[in-house]
Chains A and B, each alone.
Chain A
Amino acid sequence: MVCNILADFRLYLHLIAMQLRAQLQYKLNVLIDIVTYLSVTCLEFVPVLIFFGPFPSLLGWTVGEVAMLYAITSMSFGLAELFGAGIDAFDETIRRGEFDRVLLRPVGPFMQVVSSEFRLRRLGRITQGLLVFIFALSLLPGLNWTALKLAVLPIAIVSGALVFIAILLLGATLCFWTIQTTELTNILTYGGREMLSYPLTIYNQGLQRFFLFVVPLAFGTYIPICYLLGRPLPFGLPVEIAFAAPLVALAFALIAGATWRFGVRHYQSTGS
Chain B
Amino acid sequence: MWRVAGFLCWENGKNEMLRFYFEVARTAYRRQLIYRWANLAGLLTNIFFGVIFSYVMIALFQARPVAAGYNVQDALRYIWLMQAMVMVVLTFGWYDLMLTIRSGEVVSDLSKPCDFYWYWFSREIGRSAYFLLFRGLPTYLAGMLLFGLGVPGDLRLWLAYAASLPLAAMLGIAYRFLFNIVAFWVLEARALGGLATAIALFFAGSYIPLPFFPPWLRAIATWLPFNGLMNVPAQIFLGKLTGIALLFGLGLQVLWVVLLTLGVRLLTSVAARRVIVQGG
Contacts and interface: CB of A to CB of B under 8 A. Distances in A.
Contact of B202 (A46, A56, A199): A46
A29 interface: yes
A181 B202 CA distance: 27
Interface string B217-244: 1000000000000000000000000000
23 contacts: A29-B187, A37-B194, A40-B194, A43-B202, A46-B207, A50-B212, A51-B56, A51-B208, A53-B213, A54-B67, A55-B61, A55-B63, A180-B41, A181-B38, A183-B41, A187-B41, A190-B45, A191-B45, A191-B49, A194-B49, A199-B59, A202-B59, A207-B55
Nearest to A181: B41
Interface of A: 29, 32-33, 36-37, 39-40, 43-44, 46-47, 50-51, 53-59, 121, 178, 180-184, 186-187, 190-191, 194-195, 198-199, 202-204, 207
A36 B186 CA distance: 14
Contacts of B214: 50, 53
A93 to B, nearest CB: 18
Given A29-B188, A51-B208, A59-B59, A187 B202 contact: no
A259 to B, nearest CB: 19
Interface string B54-67: 01101111111001
Interface in B63-98: 63-64, 67-68
Contacts of A55: 60-61, 63-64, 67
B191 interface: yes
Contacts of A50: 208, 212-214, 217
A186 B45 contact: yes
B9 to A, nearest CB: 36
Contacts of A191: 45, 48-49, 52
Given A55-B63, A183-B42, A203 B208 contact: no
Contacts of B62: 59
Contact of B55 (A39, A44, A53, A202): A202
B17 interface: no
Contacts of A182: 41
A41 B59 CA distance: 24
B37 interface: yes
B191 A33 contact: yes
Contacts of B49: 191, 194
Contacts of B99: none
**Counting chain A CB atoms within 10 Å of each CB, which of B49, B51, B191, B192 scores highest?**
B191
Interface string B21-48: 0000000000000010110111011001
Contacts of B59: 58-59, 198-199, 202
B159 interface: no
Nearest to B43: A183
Given A54-B212, A57-B63, A202-B59, 4 more contacts: A40-B194, A40-B198, A181-B37, A183-B41
Contact of B64 (A36, A37, A56): A56
Contact of A51 (B41, B42, B60): B60
A59 B60 CA distance: 7
B151 interface: no
Contacts of B247: none
B226 to A, nearest CB: 12
B199 interface: yes
A223 B41 CA distance: 29
B266 interface: no
B162 interface: no
A53 B51 CA distance: 22
B194 A56 contact: no
B55 to A, nearest CB: 5
B231 to A, nearest CB: 14
A236 B145 CA distance: 31
Nearest to A191: B48
